[in-house]
Structure 1
Amino acid sequence: MTEKLVYLVDDEEAIRRSAGFMLRTSGFKVESFASGVEFLKDVRDLPLGCVLLDIRMPGMDGLEVQQALIERGVAMPVVIMTGHGDVNIAVRAMKAGAIDFIEKPFEKAVLMAALDQAQARLDRSGQRRTNAEEAATRLKILTPREREVLDGLVEGLPNKTIAFDLGISPRTVEIHRANLMAKLEVRSLSEALRLAFAAADVDTPAD
């Protein structure tokens, strides 16, 4: 279970104070930022958490901050806070991947429901990341040649094509294939491929 951590990004001190109090009394750990620029400056060094992001801020607005997070590969779920009349902007944020948007002034139950959704996504992506790292670790026991054979299998190539590409005989490919499956302790090609696909997620930002 990922720690319930919320990054509250809003230029209004009153919102940071009231929403921060509401969250802390509901079991969340809260870090507040007075601007998107300030948040982005620190985001690389922050542990994973949910982002409660205001739409209308000077300097960079919420959509620009959200886009910057996407471009940097920061996989933190975002909940947008919006004032009355900004729903069309909030919908754009949802299309860009935001979990939900809540209108100010918001009720505690609405805020909690949105953050529960964000937390659930964080937990799922955290589990996927753990699985990916475990798979990548398992693949490290393969020799470079065994890894090349596995990469060919991942691409859906038959043994003969892999053999031709690597300049070895089909029989040698079969031997490498049997060896890599034994090392990975898998009983079928599909299990080996699942491991390879999972390991690829280490280099891919989580949902």
Structure 2
Amino acid sequence: MLTPNDTPWVFVVDDDQAMRSSLQWLIESVGMQVRTFSSADEFLAAYELDWIGCLLLDVRMPGMTGLELQTYLTRSAIRLPVIIITGHGDVTMAVKAMKAGAVDFIEKPFNDDNLLTSIRNALQHDEKQRTLRTRCNEIAARLTSLTPREHEVMKMVTEGQSNKEIAAKLGVSAKTIEVHRARVMDKMQANSLAELVRLALLVKYLPVN
């Protein structure tokens, strides 16, 4: 069992026991926490939703390959940053891994310092993404406090429509729209129209949960 997730872990999935031991020693030597797995199935059987950190995946393993595990994680909305490690790399494989969202692709034998730099970058990426998701969840919660009419007004306002234009389309007075708009700004905790637009875009284009 892992300790409570207030600090990140580096998860290594590689069927080569010697490589797992070597990677564990290297990563722990610089003060990072690491846990190793001999297969994709072993990792998935142990995985818990609150794990944070990054994932080092070997490509060629018995059963599910590293790239197949990467695809599975993406489809399952498991957002641990992935670093692909392989002794059998080629351009096509690298492109496929990066297009699927890997943060790096490293061939064996690798330079220890380069790998550690890649791991640190992946951990920073994970922290930034978790911060963004937390922010999106907070904004999404504010959205739930809006009435259906306030949702309509917010959508039109953030599309650049004026109070008069919105009033005409909704068949109400401009004064009524001013009231709805003020309530939207208050509930969304936005101090300006520009900030309201940014909040709307953040929820629209970034994942929550």
Give the TM-score of the pair, scaled to structure 1: 0.82
Question: What are the ranges of 5 or more consecutive residues in structure 2 without an aligned counterpart?
Answer: 1-5
Q: Summarize the alignment of residues 8-87 of structure 1 with structure 2, pairs less than 5 Å apart.
A: 8-83=12-87, 85-87=88-90
Q: Which amino acid aligns with 1:16?
A: R
1:90 paired to 2:99: no
1:193 paired to 2:201: no
> Number of aligned pairs?
203
Pair 1:185–1:80, CA change in 2 (3 A): closer
**Aligned match of 2:125:** 121
C-alpha contact (below 8 Å) 2:8/2:52 kept by paired residues: no
Pair 1:164–1:31, CA change in 2 (3 A): farther
**Aligned match of 1:150:** 154
C-alpha contact (below 8 Å) 1:80/1:100 kept by paired residues: yes
How far apart are 1:166 and its partner, in Å? 5.4
How far apart are 1:197 and its partner, in Å? 2.5
Coordinate RMSD, CA, aligned: 2.7
Pair 1:55–1:174, CA change in 2 (3 A): same
Pair 1:166–1:76, CA change in 2 (3 A): farther
Farther-moved stretch of structure 1 (15-24 vs 126-135): 126-135
Give the TM-score of the pair, scaled to structure 2: 0.82
Distance 1:157 1:182 in 2: 19
Secondary structure (helix, strand or coil) at the match of 2:51 reads: coil
Q: Which amino acid aligns with 2:100?
A: A
How far apart are 1:180 and its partner, in Å? 1.8
1:179 paired to 2:183: yes
Ranked by relative contact order (alpha carbons within 8 Å, sequence separation 6 or more), the top structure is 1
Q: Deviations over 1:90-130 (max 9, x none)?
A: 33212322111222232321210111221121122122123
Farther-moved stretch of structure 1 (89-98 vs 15-24): 89-98
Distance 1:138 1:116 in 2: 34
C-alpha contact (below 8 Å) 1:79/1:99 kept by paired residues: yes
Pair 1:71–1:154, CA change in 2 (3 A): farther
How far apart are 1:80 and its partner, in Å? 0.7
